[in-house]
Structures are given as C-alpha cells and as structure tokens.
Amino acid sequence: MSAPQAKQLARKIHAVELPSVKTLIEKVYGELKRDIVRGYLRPRAKLRVEALRARYQVSSSTIREALLLLVADALVTSEGQRGFRVAPVSLDDLREITTLRKMMETMALRESIALGDDNWESGVVAAFHKLSLIDTRRMRKSEEVAREWDKRNHAFHEALIAAAKSSWVRHFRHILYHSSERYRALSVAILNVRPGVGQEHKAIMDAALARDADLACRLTEEHIERNFAMFSRIPKDVLDPG
C-alpha cells in the first residue's frame, strides 16, 4: 500500500471511529436533558460551560450548542452575556404545562384512535402489560425501579398516540411531557406513589381499543389533572429554592 493510500485509509477509519459533530451535540443534549429532567441539575442552577465541558468530556462549543437546543425545549434559560441556567419550576408553570398537555395529548390520542390499525392495538396492549409488571410498591425504596417505571409509563403513553400523524402536535406534546417529568422527579423522594394509576391506565387503554375517543380523551385529561394535584403538594422551598 502506498503512502497516499495509507493516509486515505487512515482518514476513513478516523471518520468512522469519531462521531460527527451533529451526533455529538445530540448525545450531549440527550445527557443534559436527562440530568435536568431527573433533577440531577436542579432548578435555577447555573450551567457553567467549562464545568459542563469537563463533566461530559466534550468541547465548549458542543456544550453551547446542546444548551441552545435545551433553551428551545424550555428546560434551560439563556441570560445573554451571563450564560445559562436550568429553567425554574413553580406551581404556575406546572399549571400551564398541565393545561397545554391535556390539549396536545387528547388531540394526538383522538387522531391515533381514528387511524390506528391492528399493529397499533397490539402495541398499546404490549406496552400496558409491560408497565403493569412493575411493582409500584418498590418505587420509593429503589430509584432504579422508579426510573424503569417512568420509562415504561412513557412507552405506554407513546404507544397510545403512535398512530397520530400530526408532527406539530407530537413535537409540542414531547416538549410538554419532558417539562412535566421534572416535577415527577422532584416529587419521587417526597410523595408516595399515587394510588390508582394502574387502573387509570387500563381504563384509558380499554376506551382507546374500543375506539371510544371521547371517553379515552376524558379519562386522559383526568389522569393528567390528578398528576397535577399530586405534584402541587411538593413543598414550596423545593419548587422554588430561590
């Protein structure tokens, strides 16, 4: 192999081994979002680029690009020349998120029920069954179990709206869902697991599979509203530590 050929091969291997800039930004964006949603990065916390660069082992420019994506998701605020902070939380914010979530969730669900086929139905049933296997009594004793329940709960609600076609509704629903998950993370260590969630999920599933969109949407709104009532019990000093 000639020297030019060897250099060309080395460049190809290097390109395969190193993730693209876009992929790296998406990776860091996902990790930052996870840490904010799970409460590892607390509300109002200063997000110093150099500290985050060391934490996630990437360049400062990659951190800034990821933070700008999170600003668009309303999980981070930009303070101009003063940098970035984790977005604050409050009952007023949660109330607005809840109201908008009910709108987006029911719009997506109604469309999904109208368009869903046999594969959609089997996906809903499978996601519900997997979620029901989690013993919610263990959630307060194990963060791992609580996180797994959150993951399966998200998968169940995703399965319900999987047949919806509106990309805008799905986009805003996604943002609102993750914004509400921050409050769940704040409540996990403080509140008992809300009783009756499993029955609520089954009732929503049954209505959806029966193609009763009005009932499924009403039950979904009530389900989201009950979550608001639970999260609103979080002490004020936890919601807004100042």
pLDDT tens per residue across span 13-44 = 344 444 566 788 899 999 998 888 877 888 88
Please tell me the predicted confidence (pLDDT) of residue 16.
40
Check the CA dihedral 94-96-98-101 and report its sign: negative
Alpha helix segments (H runs only) across the chain = 3-17, 21-37, 49-56, 60-72, 91-115, 118-132, 143-160, 167-188, 197-209, 213-231, 236-239
CATH number of the domain where residue 80 is located: 1.10.10.10
Burial of 138 (0-12, 13-18, 19+ CB in 10 A): middle
Tell me the β-bridge partners of 43: none
* Between 54 and 181, residue with greater pLDDT: 54
Do residues 120 and 234 share a domain? yes
Mean pLDDT of the chain: 84
CATH number of the domain where residue 221 is located: 1.20.120.530
Q: What is the pLDDT of residues 212-228, one digit of tens each?
A: 999 999 999 999 999 88
pLDDT at 7 > cutoff 50: no
* Between 231 and 99, residue with greater pLDDT: 99
**Domain stop point among 86, 114, 131:** 86
The pLDDT-based confidence of 2 (bands split at 50, 70, 90) is low
Please tell me the predicted confidence (pLDDT) of residue 195.
74
Do residues 230 and 204 share a domain? yes
- Report phi then psi at 219, rounded to 5: -65, -35
From CA 25, how far away is CA 53, in angstroms rounded?
12
**Domain stop point among 27, 56, 86:** 86
Do residues 130 and 178 share a domain? yes
Please tell me the predicted confidence (pLDDT) of residue 227.
85
From CA 177, how far away is CA 42, in angstroms rounded?
18
Please tell me the predicted confidence (pLDDT) of residue 91.
87
Do residues 139 and 29 share a domain? no
* Domain residue limits at 227: 91-239
Do residues 118 and 219 share a domain? yes
The pLDDT-based confidence of 188 (bands split at 50, 70, 90) is low
Percent of the chain with pLDDT over 90: 47
Do residues 76 and 115 share a domain? no
From CA 75, how far away is CA 63, in angstroms rounded?
15
Do residues 230 and 120 share a domain? yes
Please tell me the predicted confidence (pLDDT) of residue 225.
93
Do residues 159 and 179 share a domain? yes
- The number of distinct structural domains making up the chain is 2
**Domain stop point among 64, 86, 108:** 86
pTM above 0.85, yes or no: no
Do residues 107 and 140 share a domain? yes
Do residues 150 and 203 share a domain? yes
Do residues 107 and 213 share a domain? yes
Do residues 45 and 148 share a domain? no
Q: What is the pLDDT of residues 152-182, one digit of tens each?
A: 999 999 999 999 999 999 999 988 988 888 8
